[in-house]
Amino acid sequence: MSSIVEQWNEIKVLVESLDLDVVKNANGNSSAGVRARRGLRLLKNKSADLVRATIEADKDKKSS
């Protein structure tokens, strides 16, 4: 359970860190766009890992 919460906290921190780069990119900073896209790909992967962890935790609860 704590692993799920830790992963969720990592995702929240990642989203907060992306906020500034997305705003900068919207104002025309292309380097910020590169950072934002890189961060969004990382967010996608971390989100998928969290989904897998929660499914696994649910399976373990049902089998117990």
Residue at 25: amino acid letter: N
Residue 1: per-residue pLDDT? 60
Q: What is the pTM assigned to this prediction? A: 0.86
Per-residue model confidence as pLDDT tens digits over 4-62: 999 999 999 999 999 999 999 999 999 999 999 999 999 999 999 999 999 999 999 89
Helices (H), 1-64: 2-26, 30-63
Residue 64: per-residue pLDDT? 75
Residue 9: per-residue pLDDT? 97
Q: Which residues contact 25 (CB under 8 A, 6 or more apart)?
A: 32, 33, 36
How far is the C-alpha of 61 from the C-alpha of 5, rounded, in Å? 16
Domain residue ranges in the chain: 2-63
How far is the C-alpha of 34 from the C-alpha of 25, rounded, in Å? 9
How far is the C-alpha of 45 from the C-alpha of 33, rounded, in Å? 18
